Structure formats: structure tokens, C-alpha cells
Amino acid sequence: MLLLRHRVAATAGAPEDVTHSEWEWHAGQWQGPVSGTERAEGRRTACNIRRSKQENREMTMETGSGRMVRALDWKGAFWVAAGVPPLVLFSIGGIAGTTGKMAFVVWMISMVMGFLQSFTYAEMAGMFGNKSGGTSVYGATAWLRYSKLIAPLSVWCNWFAWSPVLSLGCAIAAGYILNALFPIPLAESQQVVDWVAANIGNYTAETQSVVDYIAANAGTTVDDAIKAVAAADGVAALTPWFRGYEAFNIAIPGLGTLHFNSTFFIGVVLMLIILVIQERGISSTANAQKWLAIIVLVPLLLVGLVPILTGAIDTMNVTNLLPPTAAYSGVDGEWNIGGWTLFLGGLYIAAWSTYGFETAVCYTAELKDPKRDTFRAIFYSGLLCAVFFFLIPFAFQGVLGMEGMLATGIVDGTGVGEALGNMIGGGPVITQIFVILMIMALFLSIMTALAGSSRTLYQGSRDGWLPKYLGSVNSHGAPSKAMWTDFAFNVVLLALASDVSGYFYVLAISNVGYIMFNFMNLNAGWIHRIDSGHLERPWKAPSWLIGVNTCLAFVNALFLGAGAKVWGYENALWSGLIFASFIIPVFWYRHYVQDGGRFPKEAYDDLGLEEGDLGERKAGMLPYLALLLGLAVVLWANWFFVLPA
């Protein structure tokens, strides 16, 4: 029953011997007295009806309306998020290098944490059926009462964590395409052998390159040095020119070098192809993702299962679990501070992949039935990811061992396709098929990233945190301007990530944002419970799980403080924090210049509040104390954990 408070003087039919605050006007007559519980329930119901009406106004089932289109069921959202499992291939070599034999355990621990955390995100997603953009948007609303700046910080951190998947994925895909179309010949290949035979007479003991080689490799004979130098020159001479092409580069102090090379140009073309597909709306994207996922994930699943079922796992590769003596040493170390630092560094970077299925609730505003479908989308996406993040790292490590996992092609990602084919005993044809599948897997991940990160920009604009121009959609209901902004940002990142060192630099910095977002969002779960208990929750997580996930927020803070330095950049943590601070001028421009210091009306409607009133801060000082404790954990971990000498 909807009870709406009547706030005017006594009306005919109302008893004269009671105060009107005890009575309610309903269906054309006074009813009462009404208990406090009933009155609160009436307000809660009225609030939820008002929010439901807003949802219906904001969204539509038809394209061409200039609004988001409710075109998905939970299965569609599941398929869009199906690009997360292949993310394991982005850093499987890097994590093996930093954690040694503990690598597969790191993936499993990280996946369990991601799955537990997703239940907090599922509850919040159900509360905001009219919003797009994912869990950072839903969690940011919890912080809005406590600081205008913290809310957009959560959204910003989530965006700059997800968006680089475009550039990183395209960099790897470009590497595969270069290998296929412009291969570098092997030193032992017949064409190199023939070149050496034809040119070896040009080398003598006095040739400068031979002298340099002998100086760098003490004990090498002149004949051996000549053969090695001639072979290297033969490989260089027979390598296609486009493979090493670089138009120019730009060194940026404090950031790195932007390489405008062959990898960059191919990567830009790939990003444009994906952008064109997504311009046609979420339904088109989901359909493309469905078939890509089926084509890619089934063979990938076989790669995880076949070595286990055929006994190809070498138990020596997955027992005697110790961290390495140093990153990429491949030598077993011990559980000292340096070993723990490497282990936590692995958990830090694994989170970028294993937590990623939270993107399944980025599309709440495009679900036909968000109350039912949000939980299903994220739950089943989590189960899918658990299968792959458990199986693939275990199978890789069990078959390849540390030496194989540290091969250059595994670490930089360009040799993963070949390794996949070899793991199931395939010949050259099967191996080439897996190389093609690897490129498709990268497309799958990039499609997921662009769909999610662009909607985060879109909703951030709608909520008054990011520039206004991002808050519009095209005739198909796709956030076109947000997608083009993502594209432009990733063109710069692609230039930075076009070599291996830049690749992991981008990954390490972007993950600073992702861990920060997760910390704030997991705390948003209990803040919403206290401040927004009046909002409807189609699915509600057990309270004990909200508590567990709050503890995991601080575990993530530990990963951030200890692990960011592991990836070859001592200042990765500080670089990430600096980039996170860029939200300050962006938000200041939107909020104070464009909006005059006021949030859009829909931001208040989402919380069931009157315009201009952010409501009571029922949690008091607790959110601020959580932030201070999290900061303390990060700083302490950064000081205490140090890399092996």
C-alpha cells in the first residue's frame, strides 16, 4: 500500500482529536493512525516508485531515441563480459617471472578474491537499474555524501584501469600480425644459412662487430665470433623492412618514449575496426561477442584440460612452491621479505585480470529486466572466469615449467598462441590455428574493455562528474563520444606500449587505479547499507559477506603498496597516484564551471533524495577512517616490502 503524507491543514473526514502527523491521506480519504514502521515503509515505497519511473523515462526499448536501449538479457551481458577470461594471457608470463612456481597459486587466490568481491558489486548494481558504467558508478554514489571528490575519483580510477586494455591488447595483436605477415627469420633457417655462406668472407678478426662480440663474450674464438656475428647480420638483412619501421619517437620525461612504429600503426587500425562494430549499439556488440567467445573459449578450455587428462603435467613444475630469488631469475628462492614482495606483486597484477568480470554489470541500463538479470550476469561471468583462471595458468606452468614460462614470447604475449598449439601436441597447422585464435581472443578482450570503459565515461558525465559532452548516445544507443574519447586516449597509450618495457609500464600504472577503485567500492557496500537502506535491493548479499569483502578491501591496499614496485618501475605507485589526481581539474571544470556547483537532478533521484539534498551522513566518521586506514596500509606496505637484493 502506498501511503503518501498529507502536509496541509485538517480536511473533511479527518478526526479532530489527533494530530495530523499520526494520519495519512490515501485513496481520497484519511487513514490512520499510522505507525512509524508503516510511515517509513511508505516513504521507502514512494522513493522506489519514483526511481522506477525515472528508469522508464531514461531508457527505451527502441533505437533512434537518443537514449540507452534496453536490448540485453543477462546472457547478452554475460557474452559481452566473456572477453575477461583471455586476459589471463596478457600477463601469464609476467606473473610467472615475478612469482616463480607460485604463479598458478597466485591466479587461484586472486580469482577467489574476485569472486567473493563480486557479491558486493551485485547488490549495488541491482540498486541502480537506470545506470550504466559498472560497479564504480554504483559504488561512487555511496561516497557522494562524504566528499564531492571521492565519488568521481572511484569512477576515474576504474576507467583508466579498464581503458588501457584497448592499447595493450592491440599491441599484442599487432605483434601476432607482424609475425604472420612480416616474420623475422630464425638464425638456423635455410635462408639465413645461405646468406651467411654467401657473405662470411667479408668478416675477419679485425671487423669491428667481431671485435665487439669477442669483448662482450670472453673466451670466444675468432671463428665462432665470426659465425655468430654473420648469423645476426643475416637475420637483420632478411627481416622485412616494415618489421623494424619507426616513423619517429617522442621522449616524454617522467613517462617514457612514444614509439610511432609498425606496431602502433597496425594497432590503430585494429582499434578503429572494433570502434566501428560497437558504434552499432550493445545488441550488435553482444552478438559479435557471443560468436567470438564460442570460437575462442572452447579451444582455450581444451588447452587447460588436455594436459591434465593426458598426464602431460610435470609435477616438478607445480610442487616445491617457492618464490624466485629475483624477478625472472627462474631460480627457487625463499620466503623472506623479498620473496613475499614478489608474491604480493603477482597478486597485485593478477587482480587486473581476475577481478575484471565485474564488467558484466556495466550494462544495467541496457538490460531488459535489470532487477533479475544483474546478479545472474555477474555470477555466471564469475563462474566462467574461475574455470579459466584456475585451469590455464596451472596447465601452462605444468607443461612448460619455469624455463618455458620465461621465454620472451610468453612474457611479451606474442608467443602464447604457438605455446597453446604445442601444449596439446598439435603440428604446424594446429599451431597456426591457435595463433589466429589468439588474435581473436585479444579482439574479444578489447571489445569487452571498450564497451565497459566507454559506458563508465558516459555515466560519469550523466552523474555530473565528467565533461558534459560524454553524456550522449548515438542513434543506436551507443555512447559514441565516450568511445571516441577512449580511442584517442589509447592512441597515446599504444605509442607508449609499442615496446615490451612500455607495455608493462602501462599495465602497472593502470592497475594502481584498479586497486584504488576496488578499495573504495568494497567499502561502498557497507556505506550503502547504512545510508541507503531505504533503496530497493533486488538481490541482497549476506551481511557476513559484506564484512569479509570490507576486509578484502584492505588486503587489496596491501597489494597496492607492496606490489606496484615489482614490475620494474619503482615509481609506478606514485605515477599511478599522480594520474588519479588528474580527476581534480576534470571534475572542477564540470562541477563548478559547467554546472555551477550543483549536481544533475537524476543524481539525487538515484539515491531517493530531494534535489539539492544529499541526505544525512549516517555512517558518521567511519568512511573517512576507512580511507585513512587504507592509506596507512598502502604507505606501510610500500615501506616494509622491498625487492630482493
pLDDT attached to residue 252 = 81
User: For the domain with range 97-183+249-640, which CATH number is right: 1.20.1740.10, 1.10.3720.10, 3.30.1370.160, 3.90.1010.10?
Assistant: 1.20.1740.10
pLDDT at 567 over 50: yes
93 Cβ contact list (under 8 Å, min separation 6): 405, 406, 407, 410, 411, 412, 413, 416
- Read off the pLDDT of each residue in 504-532 and give the average, rounded to a whole number: 91
Separation in Å, CA 428 to CA 142, 209, 268, 441, 552: 54, 36, 30, 20, 45
User: Which residue stretches of 406-427 are H helix?
Assistant: 408-411, 416-423
pLDDT at 505 over 80: no
pLDDT, tens only, 256-274: 788 899 999 999 999 999 9
Three-state secondary structure readout of 463-513:
CCCCCHHHHCCCCCCCCHHHHHHHHHHHHHHHHHCCCHHHHHHHHHHHHHH
pLDDT attached to residue 175 = 85
Higher pLDDT, residue 571 or 390:
390
Higher pLDDT, residue 430 or 95:
95
pLDDT attached to residue 225 = 92
CA dihedral sign of residues 493, 494, 498, 503: positive
Contact 440, 562 (CB under 8 A): no
Instruction: Indicate the pLDDT class of residue 501, thresholds 50, 70 and 90.
Output: low
Residues of the chain within CATH 1.20.1740.10 domain(s) are 97-183+249-640
- Read off the pLDDT of each residue in 477-506 and give the average, rounded to a whole number: 85
Which of helix, strand or coil describes residue 154? helix
Instruction: Indicate the pLDDT class of residue 60, thresholds 50, 70 and 90.
Output: low
Q: How far is CA 574 from the centre of its chain?
A: 20
- Read off the pLDDT of each residue in 469-496 and give the average, rounded to a whole number: 90
pLDDT at 412 over 80: no
pLDDT attached to residue 525 = 95
Measured at the CA of 465, the angle between CA 464 and CA 468, to 5 degrees, comes to: 60
Q: How far apart are CA 229 and CA 227, in angstroms?
A: 6
Least confidently predicted of 32-46, 96-110, 240-254, 501-515: 32-46
pLDDT attached to residue 61 = 52
Instruction: Indicate the pLDDT class of residue 527, thresholds 50, 70 and 90.
Output: very high
Best-predicted range by mean pLDDT (7-21, 427-441, 510-524): 510-524
pLDDT attached to residue 21 = 41
* 469's grid cell: 559532452
- Read off the pLDDT of each residue in 595-607 and give the average, rounded to a whole number: 81
Contact 303, 392 (CB under 8 A): yes
Q: Give me the residue label for grid cell 594497432.
A: 267
pLDDT attached to residue 409 = 81
Q: Give me the residue label for grid cell 595458468.
A: 393
Closest CA to 443 of 554, 322, 296: 296
pLDDT at 181 over 70: yes
Instruction: Indicate the pLDDT class of residue 34, thresholds 50, 70 and 90.
Output: very low
Give the amino acid at 377: A
User: Which residue stretches of 321-427 are H helix?
Assistant: 337-354, 370-405, 408-411, 416-423
Q: How far apart are CA 357 and CA 306, in angstroms?
A: 25
pLDDT, tens only, 191-215: 999 999 999 889 998 999 999 999 9
Q: How far apart are CA 416 and CA 92, in angstroms?
A: 9
Q: What is the mean pLDDT of the chain?
A: 84
Strand partners for 4: 25
Strand partners for 252: 256
N- to C-terminal Cα separation, the chain: 69
403 Cβ contact list (under 8 Å, min separation 6): 330
Contact 264, 238 (CB under 8 A): no
pLDDT attached to residue 19 = 42
Instruction: Indicate the pLDDT class of residue 559, thresholds 50, 70 and 90.
Output: very high
pLDDT at 242 over 70: yes
pLDDT at 620 over 80: yes
pLDDT attached to residue 112 = 97
